[in-house]
């Protein structure tokens, strides 16, 4: 684990602009085509079929989405909504945009290789760029991580990479959606100094498909299911690294698998107030003592999204693509 045996991962430059840990703006994608995704269901054990007509599932997801957008805006977060593309292509998982793009304070827009064909169709780069530019953000470069049709060196964005921006560090769980070579290449591109790559298993021994369902790293608080790191030396190293910089909440397999307690995100309102976005299921899954710790680090913004969680296999964090781009100077 780490990059000590991979000298070619050395940072390209240390002159990059500082990157805040907490984004004050996000992009969300309206779930017009929301449905059970047959292609991703192969390795996402969090997905479930509901005994409802497809139209009812989509309608419920749309209502949950709209309520979440409104709630986040009420707490002072800037939310930009990417609407349905006119091309008519169905993208059942489009509500989870953090997997296909991320942004950097140097003005970079990063586009990632996706594991399944129908998720690759979510990457509407031109439409996203227009949305961001229209809201006054500056894009200096658009960087493809690998090529657009990559099928092996997969790296699904902040679904698999959990960043500690202040320390130029990334945590990542190895899986079909996180190829180590793609991870280290990206780390070098970004000038990251520490790659914490580890192996995971859920309560049934299956690798966890996305790191962000079992851990979250904020500015001063971290949540992790340490039990999912089944190799003791990896677990010890990751915990020691986290605990040296953050107050750490340890959650159980049950809290991950039944409540999505790891799939939360610390953000900031426009006035800088820390926020903690999570689902109602996650909030109710934390113990009272854990909730008190969370409240010390931000205002909980709790969102009921049961349909999106059950059918999509992801929760609040997956729905939020953080925007760190600089604003256009006038």
For residues 16 and 106, is the Cβ–Cβ distance under 8 A? yes
For the chain, report the end-to-end CA distance as a whole number of angstroms: 45
Q: What Cα–Cα distance (Å) separates residue 172 from each residue in 195, 221, 261?
A: 8, 17, 17
Residue 166 domain-assigned (yes or no):
yes
Residue 181 domain-assigned (yes or no):
yes
Per residue in 20-71, pLDDT (tens digit) is 999 999 999 999 988 755 555 455 556 566 677 888 999 999 999 999 999 9
**What's the confidence (pLDDT) of residue 9?**
40
Residue 66 domain-assigned (yes or no):
yes
Domain containing 222 equals: 25-323
For residues 111 and 143, is the Cβ–Cβ distance under 8 A? yes
Residue 8 domain-assigned (yes or no):
no
Q: In terms of residues, how long is the chain? A: 330
Residue 235 domain-assigned (yes or no):
yes
Tell me the whole-structure pTM to 2 decimals. 0.91
Report the CATH number at residue 33: 3.75.10.10
Cα angle: 273, vertex 277, 280; to 5 degrees: 135
Per residue in 260-303, pLDDT (tens digit) is 999 999 999 999 999 999 999 999 999 999 999 999 999 999 99
For residues 135 and 146, is the Cβ–Cβ distance under 8 A? no
Of all residues in the chain, the percent with pLDDT exceeding 70 is 89
Residue 12 domain-assigned (yes or no):
no
- Looking at the structure of the chain, the number of domains it has is 1
Tokens for 20, please give them: 């805040």
Pick from 145, 124, 150, 128: which is nearest to 137 by CA?
128
Please give the Cα distance from 179 to 159 (Å, whole number).
13
């Amino acid at each position: 684990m780490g990059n000590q045996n991979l000298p070619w991962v050395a940072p390209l430059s240390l002159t990059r602009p500082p990157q805040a840990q907490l984004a004050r703006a996000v992009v969300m994608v309206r779930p017009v085509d929301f449905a059970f995704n047959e292609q991703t269901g192969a390795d996402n054990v969090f997905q479930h079929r509901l005994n409802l007509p497809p139209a009812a599932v989509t309608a419920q997801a749309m209502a949950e989405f709209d309520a979440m957008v409104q709630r986040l805006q009420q707490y002072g977060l800037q939310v930009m909504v990417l609407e349905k593309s006119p091309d008519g292509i169905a993208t059942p998982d489009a509500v989870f945009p953090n997997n296909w793009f991320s942004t950097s304070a140097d003005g970079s827009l990063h586009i990632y290789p996706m594991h399944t064909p129908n998720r690759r169709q979510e990457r509407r780069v031109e439409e996203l760029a227009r949305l961001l530019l229209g809201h006054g953000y500056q894009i200096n470069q658009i960087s493809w991580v690998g090529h657009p049709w990559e099928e092996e060196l997969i790296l699904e964005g902040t679904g698999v990479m959990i960043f500690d921006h202040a320390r130029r560090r990334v945590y990542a769980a190895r899986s079909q959606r996180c190829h180590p070579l793609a991870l280290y290449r990206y780390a070098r591109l970004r000038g990251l100094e520490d790659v914490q790559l580890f192996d995971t298993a859920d309560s049934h021994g299956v690798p966890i498909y996305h790191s962000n369902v079992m851990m979250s790293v904020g500015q001063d608080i971290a949540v992790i299911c340490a039990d999912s790191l089944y190799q003791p030396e990896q677990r010890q190293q990751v915990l020691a690294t986290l605990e040296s910089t953050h107050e750490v909440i340890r959650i159980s397999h049950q809290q991950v698998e039944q409540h999505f307690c790891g799939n939360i995100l610390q953000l900031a309102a426009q006035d800088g107030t820390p926020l903690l976005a999570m689902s109602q299921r996650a909030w109710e899954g934390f113990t009272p003592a854990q909730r008190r710790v969370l409240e010390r680090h931000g205002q909980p913004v709790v969102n009921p999204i049961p349909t999106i969680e059950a059918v999509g296999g992801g929760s609040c964090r997956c729905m939020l693509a953080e925007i760190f781009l600089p604003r256009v100077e006038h």
